[in-house]
Structure 1
Amino acid sequence: MDLLLLKTLHLAGAFALFASLGATMMAGSGKKSASILHGVSMLVILLIGFAMLKKPPMDQYWWMVKVVMWLFIGLAPALAKKKVLPSMLVLTLSLVAATVAAYMGLYKPF
């Protein structure tokens, strides 16, 4: 598959992920739909991310940091729902995690 198409789909998954996080953090109807969108977008991001890697470079570790950020963002709705952390803090930390993941993907520092 074309790398530009994979990147576009990866970004579309990220946009859907944060739309679902925003909807999940808001109290109101449609939480089930937001949860489904969260799960589907997490899966899309993971699969397309590994498709872009093709073979993980074992001498570099930047992609492992991205997987840890992905795991945190995946747990974010549970952290907010169980009131482990306030919803706004969870959303802020998720944005920080996404920024770190974007930096790692663009610059591949190590």
Structure 2
Amino acid sequence: MIHDPKLVTLHLAGVFALFASLGAITLGSSSKKGAAILHGVSLLLILGVGFAMLQKPPMGQYWWMVKLGLWLFIGAAPALSKRKVLPGPVVLALCIAAGATAAWLGVAKPF
């Protein structure tokens, strides 16, 4: 399935913004409010454009559901860092691993 390059570009821009905000939040930026706003906006952009690219969830395929679970984890990650459940660098490393897994799922669509 070939996607519209505009949608792919928007999706990737959302991903870049999301990880920039995660770095700022978890590693202690002085502008945490701005980073939190960027985090929320980029999460919405990724979700909306992702579903636009998906158009209709394929029946019998579960890769997109796993990606949604990873999206939820990355969305909750700042709370894990803020509440000191895990140290900020560990949260960021887990988010990078989740992002890499989500990228692989989007390209390979294994199941």
> Scaled by the length of structure 1, what TM-score is found?
0.96
How far off is 1:6 after superposition? Answer: 0.4
- 2:15: which partner in 1? 14
- 1:97: which partner in 2? 98
Q: Is the 8 A contact 2:24 2:32 kept in 1?
A: yes
- Ranges in structure 1 where 5+ consecutive residues have no aligned partner: none
How far off is 1:29 after superposition? Answer: 1.7
Match of 2:90, SS state, is helix
Q: Is the 8 A contact 2:27 2:89 kept in 1?
A: no
Q: Quick one: distance in 1 between partners of 2:28 and 2:99?
A: 23
- 1:53: which partner in 2? 54
- 1:67: which partner in 2? 68
- Ranges in structure 2 where 5+ consecutive residues have no aligned partner: none
Q: Is the 8 A contact 2:70 2:98 kept in 1?
A: yes
Q: Quick one: distance in 2 between partners of 1:92 and 1:68?
A: 17
How far off is 1:27 after superposition? Answer: 2.2
Q: Is the 8 A contact 2:74 2:98 kept in 1?
A: yes
**Which stretches of structure 1, 4 residues or longer, exceed 3 Å deviation after superposition?**
none
Q: Quick one: distance in 1 between partners of 2:103 and 2:9?
A: 14
RMSD between aligned residues: 0.9
Q: Quick one: distance in 1 between partners of 2:96 and 2:27?
A: 16
- 2:25: which partner in 1? 24
CA distance 1:28–1:108, change in 2 (3 Å): closer
- 1:82: which partner in 2? 83
